[in-house]
């Protein structure tokens, strides 16, 4: 007995929920191969007979014929839709990226889709005050500084399965299209997050002032966290980034560093990964004048970069976002983003991935002769909370 007929038997004996559960278990346990063991056409044959297409040719509405399960019962349509939703979900989750390890995900606390103001904790304006006998202690109040996180946006795709597609489903074309829905939806979110993290979409609003995410020394901005003419060479390159961050100060107290670098995350493109890992994980470095001629001295020392202290991330989507914003492949080899990225960036998630089989019947189905539709949607927005916690190195 084919898997489709087994589902029909389960449906008739135990109902819709048990059928959906059996379907999900079979997919999760890899008991069926979506590309080989499944066919929407065979599913309709199981529920409506092998002559379901001939019935259509005779003008008989098979979905409402006495001998078949009606369309509104979501039997064959519901099962096919649930199967495709599982394919979409798996493809969405399989789209791996480093971006979620570089951004802090939070919920929506203001209960609306507009911009959300969150408090910014600043340091006291004075330090080291001695409290003499009988004197009052210095008092602080809750600071009024704030960061505004941007409004929620939405991404999603719809997969429409027509009568023709179901009738001709002898290959895995519909399965492949469902996978593409999941992949595209996840990639859209990934690109949005990286455009914010890399500074191509400026989402930093501090005390209601719209600012850029990155500033160079020449830009005379409120902070400096971008180094141009940067090259990934050796430990000195990493030190340059570290010192730039450690020189950042609290916006309201220039005597206090804002980031102690207790978390060191490094993001590069794939073509730089091995070079960076060699720099970070090498056992020794060589310095001094070690030319062959003359009485010269070469100095060998233990690598000053502590192995295991750095979280190294490399992502092909970073490469694609850089190139789509005009950076050449050659220049991207020396791109690097360093610091406490999880502190610097936030993703405000309103609606995690939601999968739906669109109601049947509907005006859409009638006007477009669509058998059923599956929809994937997710909502959120990425924002910048503390850009002083990171440093960007680029060629130009």
225 is a domain residue: no
Residue given tokens 């009024």 in the structure block: 144
303 is a domain residue: no
3-state helix/strand/coil string of 118-153? EECCCCCCCCCCCCCCCCCCCCCCCCCCEEEECCCE
Q: How many domains does the chain have?
A: 1
3-state helix/strand/coil string of the chain? CCHHHHHHHHHHHHCHHHHHHHHHHHHHCCCCCCCCCCCHHHHHHHHHCCCHHHHHHCCCCHHHCCCCCCHHHCCHHHHHHHHHHHHHHHHHHHCCCCHHHCCEEECCCCCCCCCEEEECCCCCCCCCCCCCCCCCCCCCCCCCCEEEECCCEEEEEEEEEEHHHHHCCCCCHHHHHHHHHHHHHHHHHHHHHHHHHCCCCCCEEECCEEECCCCCHHHCCCCCCEECCCCCCCHHHHHHHHHHHHCCEECCEEEEECCCCCCEEEEECHHHHHHHHHHHHCCEEEEECCCCCCCCCEEEEECCCCCCCEEEEECHHHHHHHHHCCCCHHHHCCCEEEECHHHHEEEEEEEEEEEEECCCCCHHHHHHCEEEEEEEEEEEEEEECCHHHEEEECCC
160 bridge partner residues: 373
Token pair of 35, please? 């590309």
d(CA 318, CA 191): 8
203 is a domain residue: no
pLDDT, one tens digit per residue, over 315-331 is: 999 999 999 999 999 99
Predicted TM-score of the model (pTM): 0.85
pLDDT, one tens digit per residue, over 326-357 is: 999 999 999 999 999 999 999 999 999 999 98
Query: For all residues of the chain together, what is the average pLDDT?
Result: 85
At residue 272, does pLDDT exceed 80?
A: yes
264 is a domain residue: no
65 is a domain residue: yes
Question: For residue 11, what are the domain limits?
Answer: 1-73
19 is a domain residue: yes
d(CA 266, CA 273): 10
Q: Output the CA torsion sign for 207, 209, 214, 216.
A: negative
Mean pLDDT, residues 179-186: 95
| Of the listed ranges 26-35, 66-75, 260-269, 301-310, the one predicted with least confidence | 66-75
Q: How many CA atoms lie within 13 A of 367 on its CB side?
A: 3
pLDDT, one tens digit per residue, over 110-166 is: 778 999 998 887 766 666 678 899 888 877 665 578 999 999 999 999 998 887 777
pLDDT, one tens digit per residue, over 60-79 is: 554 444 344 443 345 777 78
309 is a domain residue: no
34 is a domain residue: yes
């Amino acid at each position: 007995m084919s898997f489709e007929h087994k589902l029909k038997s389960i449906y008739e004996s135990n109902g819709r929920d048990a059928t959906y559960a059996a379907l999900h278990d079979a997919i999760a346990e890899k008991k069926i191969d979506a590309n080989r063991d499944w066919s929407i056409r065979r599913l309709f044959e199981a529920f409506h007979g092998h002559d379901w297409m001939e019935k259509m040719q005779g003008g008989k509405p098979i979905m409402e014929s006495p001998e078949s399960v009606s369309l509104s019962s979501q039997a064959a349509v519901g099962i096919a839709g649930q199967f495709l939703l599982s394919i979409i979900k798996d493809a969405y989750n399989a789209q791996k990226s480093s971006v979620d390890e570089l951004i802090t995900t939070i919920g929506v606390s203001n209960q609306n889709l507009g911009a959300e103001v969150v408090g910014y904790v600043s340091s006291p304006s004075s330090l080291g005050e001695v409290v003499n006998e009988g004197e009052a202690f210095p008092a602080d109040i809750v600071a009024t500084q704030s960061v505004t996180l941007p409004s929620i946006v939405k991404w999603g795709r719809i997969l429409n399965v027509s009568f023709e597609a179901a009738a001709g489903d002898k290959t895995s074309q519909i399965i492949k299209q469902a996978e593409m829905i999941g992949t595209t939806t996840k990639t859209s979110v990934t690109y949005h997050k990286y455009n914010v993290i890399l500074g191509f979409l400026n989402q930093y609003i501090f005390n209601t002032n719209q600012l850029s995410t990155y500033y160079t020394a020449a830009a005379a901005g409120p902070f400096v966290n971008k180094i141009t003419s940067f090259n990934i060479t050796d430990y000195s390159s990493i030190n340059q980034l570290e010192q730039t961050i450690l020189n950042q100060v609290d916006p309201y107290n220039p005597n206090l560093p804002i980031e102690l670098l207790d978390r060191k995350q490094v993001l590069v493109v794939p073509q730089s990964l091995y070079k960076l890992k060699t720099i970070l994980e090498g056992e020794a470095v060589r310095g001094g004048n070690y030319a062959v001629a003359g009485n010269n001295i070469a100095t060998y020392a233990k690598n000053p970069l502590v192995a295991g202290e750095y979280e190294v991330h490399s992502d092909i989507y970073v490469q694609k976002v850089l190139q789509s914003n005009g950076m050449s492949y050659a220049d991207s080899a020396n791109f690097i983003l360093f610091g406490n990225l999880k502190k610097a960036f936030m993703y405000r998630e309103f609606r995690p991935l939601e999968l739906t089989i669109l109601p049947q019947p509907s005006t859409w189905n009638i006007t477009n002769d669509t058998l059923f539709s599956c929809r994937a949607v997710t909502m959120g927005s990425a924002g910048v909370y503390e850009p002083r916690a990171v440093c960007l190195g680029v060629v130009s």
